[in-house]
Amino acid sequence: MRVLVTGGAGYIGSHTLVPLLRAGHEVLVYDNYATSSPEALARVRQLANRDLAVVEGDIRDLALLDRTFASFRPDAVIHFAGLKAVGESHSQPLEYYAQNIAGSITLLQCMAQNGCTQIVFSSSATVYGEPDYLPYDEHHPLRPQSPYGRSKLMIETIIRDWTSANAGARAILLRYFNPVGAHPSGRIGEDPLGTPNNLMPYIAQVAIGRREALLVHGDDYDTRDGTGERDYIHVEDLARAHLAALDSLDRIDGCEAINVGTGQSATVLEMVAAFERASGRSVPYRIGPRRPGDVARMCADVAKARALMGWQAELGLDAMCSATWQWQSRNPTGYAPEVERD
Ligand code: NAD
Ligand code: UDP
């Protein structure tokens, strides 16, 4: 297949490119490097031992995107590009709606203009909001609590309407739970800008000595040890889910939302302990107040992913933590040379 990958230089995109190239697909990455580095693509080429095409551009640039579609003629799109920081989306809602929603509309317009009818979209479990029941299945009510989450839900709706209006158009909306981990080689991984918002990169930076201690956001939740529980999924399993989604597009009718998680959940303190085991380092932490907007527990019902795509997660917490540690210890300052970072 010829696959156009928006946001392919980012964390999840780069990990998906490796198996995509290894499976023999022809790939073009379209990315503006807003939150990523071209170095990730150089390392993807080495890991896959294959080349890929790259266009540096913004998904809101209709003219450039249209020219890219016309010359590459993709059979399908995997759409990762967008902004994803929940906290930042509260302070910059227009930026989030402009990049995520306007960018996705531009992308769908270019697909329509160039006869491309298949898309796999990076959605998020955050579209569910406060749980009525757990695990969340795909029929759970959708009540996102942040501009970021609402942008994901709006894009889901737009894509669904687009598939209804265009006979033959097909879309899979992958609702990721909590992606963590790295390629086992330690060559590519998650490289957040500035202070990490998410748990796993924060723990990894404490273990390597870049930060003093983890601040645990609350230990008075109704969970096993009082700290927040999440369904962490290894980015390598998530990468495979995208290949399974591409293979499934011609077997579905219209648009399907599918949870991508493990069906298991771990608390913050369980993650700390697993990381200490995997790294042999200690991860000091302090207990702080709850983070506004956090839910106590999230966990995926993964039956639909198995039934529709024949996919299920295979890797557990130990593999997630040891891959993260490989990446963090080999690249203490991510893709940037050490002297240029804090
Ligand atoms: P990331 O920030 O590492 O990657 C996003 C990529 O998109 C980057 O390479 C960035 O440069 C590019 N990009 C951003 N805006 C762009 C624009 N306007 N035009 C062109 N390129 C642009 O993030 P990620 O963790 O790899 O996430 C990928 C997707 O998955 C995002 O859509 C995100 O919302 C979604 N998602 C991520 C998580 C997570 O925890 N990482 C969870 C659920 C959903
Ligand atoms: N968390 C924490 N300290 C941090 C970052 C996260 O205690 O510095 C907790 C957070 O409250 C949640 C879990 O770790 O219970 C996962 O948080 P993350 O931001 O990674 O994912 P999300 O909350 O978006 O699912």
Mean pLDDT of the chain: 96
**262 Cα: distance to centroid of ligand 2 (angstroms):** 17
Residues 6+ apart with CB under 8 A from 242: 16, 20, 78, 120, 174
List, in order, residues 6 or more apart from 38 with CB less than 8 Å away: 9, 54
Domain count, the chain: 2
Cis peptide before 332 (omega within 30 of 0): no
Q: Computed over its alpha carbons, how large is the radius of gyration of the chain? A: 19
Neighbour-count burial of 129, counting CB atoms closer than 10 A to its CB (0-12 exposed, 13-18 middle, 19+ buried): buried
For atom 20 of ligand 2, which residue has the closest CA?
198
Count of CB atoms situated within 10 Å of the CB of 175:
25
Residue 213 phi, psi (nearest 5): -155, 155
Residues 100 and 246 in one domain: yes
223 in any annotated domain: yes
- Residues lining ligand 2, CB < 6 A? 178, 197-199, 202, 214-217, 228, 230, 268, 291, 294
- 335 and 273 assigned to the same domain: yes
pLDDT interval class at 337 (50, 70, 90): confident
pLDDT of 338 reads 66
Region 29-46: mean pLDDT is 98
Tokens 């998410």 sit on residue: 198
Say yes or no: 134 and 204 in one domain. Answer: no
Best CA proximity match to 203, nearest among 289, 83, 328: 328
Angle between helix 62-72 and helix 103-113 axes, rounded to 10 deg? 40
**Does one domain contain both 173 and 209?**
no
Q: Is 280 part of any domain?
A: yes
Q: Output the CA angle 233-246-185, nearest 5 degrees.
A: 45
**Would you place residue 340 in the very low, low, confident or very high pLDDT band (cuts 50, 70, 90)?**
very low
pLDDT for 342 beyond 50: no
Distance 5 CA to ligand 1 centre (A): 11
Are residues 328 and 256 located together in one domain of the fold?
A: no
Residue 276 and residue 333: Cα distance in Å, rounded? 20
Quick: pLDDT tens for 261-309: 999 999 999 999 999 999 999 999 999 999 988 999 999 999 999 999 9
CATH number, domain with residue 172: 3.40.50.720
Note whether residue 16 is domain-resident: yes
- Tell whether 98 and 121 lie within a shared domain: yes
**What is the SS3 assignment for 297?**
strand
Please indicate whether residue 9, judged by its CB atom, sits closer than 6 Å to ligand 1. yes
> Catalytic residue among 30, 148, 221, 232, which?
148
Residues 252 and 225 in one domain: no
Q: Is residue 194 part of a domain?
A: no
CA of 169 to the centre of ligand 2 (A): 36
Residue minimizing CA distance to atom 13 of ligand 1: 81
CATH number at residue 205: 3.90.25.10
Looking at the structure, tell me whether residues 170 and 34 fall in a common domain: yes
> Do 114 and 215 fall within a single domain?
no
Instruction: Provide the pLDDT for residue 20.
Output: 98
Residues 6+ positions from 336 with CB-CB distance below 8 Å: 37, 191
Calculate what percentage of the chain has a pLDDT beyond 90.
Answer: 96
User: What 3-state DSSP class applies to 71?
Assistant: helix
Q: What global pTM score does this model have?
A: 0.97
Does 50 reside within a domain?
yes
pLDDT digits 0-9 by tens, 48-91: 999 999 999 999 999 999 999 999 999 999 999 999 999 999 99
In a domain, 191, yes or no: no
Question: Is 148 labeled as catalytic in the residue annotation?
Answer: yes
Q: How far is the CA of 275 from the centre of ligand 2 (A)?
A: 15
Q: Are residues 135 and 209 in the same domain?
A: no
Q: Is pLDDT at 341 greater than 60 in this prediction?
A: no
Whether 144 lines ligand 1, by a CB cut-off of 6 Å, is no
Burial class (CB in 10 A: 0-12, 13-18, 19+), 45: middle
Q: Which domain holds residue 38?
A: 2-180+232-260
* Phi/psi at 271 (5° precision): -65, -40
The answer for residues whose C-beta is within 8 angstroms of residue 249's C-beta and 6 or more apart is 76, 118, 120, 170, 172
Instruction: Decide if 190 contacts 11 (C-beta within 8 A).
Output: yes
* Ligand 1, pocket-test mutation among 5, 12, 29, most atoms within 8 A of CB: 12
Asked, for residue 306, whether it belongs to a domain, the answer is no
Q: Are residues 144 and 214 in the same domain?
A: no
Q: Do the beta carbons of residue 152 and residue 100 sit within 8 Å? A: yes
**152 with 275, same domain?**
no
- Does a structural domain hold residue 186? no
Q: Does ligand 1 lie within 6 Å of residue 61's CB atom?
A: no
